[in-house]
Structure 1
Amino acid sequence: MSPLANPDGTRPGLAAISADEDKVAARELISKLSTKGRGPKTGYARDEFGYAWMDTADGVPLARNGCDTRNDLLKLNGREVEFRTGSDCVVVSMTLHDPYTGKDIAWKKAKATEVQIDHVVPLSYAWQMGAARWDKQKRQRLANDVLNLLPVSGSTNSAKRDSGPASWLPPSKTIRCSYAVRFAQVAEKYELSVTAADKSMMLKQCGG
């Protein structure tokens, strides 16, 4: 689904934005973002955003439903999902359409790292752009908000690391405007600035 039609991230997938009027809407959203330089990484650690995939980050969709964030995302985005015996949470196999590469992945839990959950706005990027000054509850929300999370191929997620859009974009060119929109949606929701180079690159992906 197009991120413009999925502003809270609770619907599966990340479909391409191709219509001219949708690209105009995308550029309008991106244009609203404020810019500044990346601050220091001093003090950053993953656990500053809570333990990984916690189910208790209040104020975000799917919190406190008895299932951790990673499995929530696998259930939401996977097809032909199979669960561990006796569980309606723990996914053991599925087929995932990876929006970043455009390829389908036949995934099994035995090789868990073949699918990873990408933070669209990386946590260390957010830390440098203002999250270092947030309280722990807001950082936990960012780390577990489905709007900021997409299951993708592990190798692609590893290649992205903590890059902003000026340094990294999905390999699939058809999805790059949608990726820019999702990045902007997260930044707007959490009142995060982006770098001028990132904003320029995001606008470029949507015809700006």
Structure 2
Amino acid sequence: MLGVALLATGCKDVDLPAAGSASGSAAPASGDGHAVSPLDNPDGTKPGLAAITSAADKERARALIKKVTTKGRGPKTGYSRDQFGYAWMDSAPGNVPFAHNGCDSRNDLLKRDGEDVRFRSGSDCVVVSMTLHDPYTGQTIAFTKAHAIKVQIDHVMPLSYDWQMGAAHWSKDKREDIANDPLNLIPVDGPTNGAKSDSGPASWLPPNKTIRCSYAVRVAQVSLKYDLPVTTADKDAMLQQCGG
């Protein structure tokens, strides 16, 4: 079983090393760590979060962000991680990429974004080592399952934020979908993800300034897919990152 430690907020879900996780020889796997622009990755199945740099692409980004609706942030009353299902389930009920493939969503994301991925012996799911080019910091992280907390899976729109912006009134199925949708999930540096907590773009942005427009686009993509508003301040901050 994959050990999981759930921290206090929605985007701080980390798994800890499972006993014997690196037993035997690790099997190599081919990885594609070439980051893709979110404008060319609308379903989140391609790796990374490449920078948006051209004037034309920034115009496309602003047009997408402008479609996002706004509302005030509601209360956190009643929120818990369990409201969005257990982490990291492979059984999200909706049409979520990678679901029902026999591999939990955390490992799906490590495989998606990692380079030089190696699996536990006898498994094509459990990642025991890889190299991650972290978009949030711009750093390269050597990940091993023995020190799994170094890499956390960020919910781009944090689950607590989702709850306050309308997910409190969703069905359990829809909440499980957004919690496990690769469009809303990015493997990143653990401490940086912890610093984000459940902040929206007006109060937290990736330290790596070159990908802030891409980050804003990804927030917009999740918002539009799930018909989930953001605050006016967050939308303004998103537009600013793309020259708006």
Question: Structure 1: where are the runs of 5+ without partners?
Answer: none
1:45 is the counterpart of 2:89:
no
Instruction: State the superposition RMSD in angstroms.
Output: 0.4
Match of 2:71 among 36, 39, 56: 36
Residues 151-177 of structure 1, C-alpha deviations (whole Å, 9 max, x = no match): 000001000000000000000000000
Q: What whole-Å deviation, never above 9, does each CA across 1:106-134 have from its counterpart, x for those lacking one?
A: 01000110000000000000000000000
Q: Secondary structure at the match of 1:38?
A: coil
Letter in 2 for 1:4: L
Q: Which whole-Å CA distance do the structure 2 matches of 1:84 and 1:96 have between them?
A: 18
The separation in 2 between residues aligned to 1:206 and 1:180, in whole angstroms, is 8
Map 1:35-184 onto structure 2 (within 5 A).
35-58=70-93, 59-184=95-220
Higher helix share: 1
**For residues 196 and 38 of structure 2, what CA distance do their matches in structure 1 show?**
20
Q: Distance in 2 between matches of 1:50 and 1:190?
A: 17
Q: Give the Cα separation in 1 of the matches to 2:236 and 2:54.
A: 20
- Name the residue aligned to 1:207: 243
Alpha-carbon separation, structure 2, partners of 1:57 and 1:32: 27
Partner SS, residue 152 of structure 1: strand
SS across alignment from 1:87 = coil
| AA matched with 2:238 | M
User: Where does structure 2 lack aligned partners over 5 or more consecutive residues?
Assistant: 1-35
CA distance in 1, matches of 2:234, 2:111: 31
Once the two structures are TM-superposed, the CA of residue 6 in structure 1 deviates from its matched residue by 0.4
- When the two structures are superposed, what TM-score results if normalisation uses the length of structure 1? 0.99
Letter of the structure 2 residue corresponding to residue 105 of structure 1: I
List 4+ stretches of structure 1 deviating above 4 A: none
Q: Give TM-score scaled by structure 2 length.
A: 0.85
What is the alpha-carbon distance in structure 1 between the residues aligned to residue 84 and residue 143 of structure 2? 27
What SS is found at the alignment partner of 1:82?
Answer: strand
Quick one: percent identity of the two aligned structures? 72
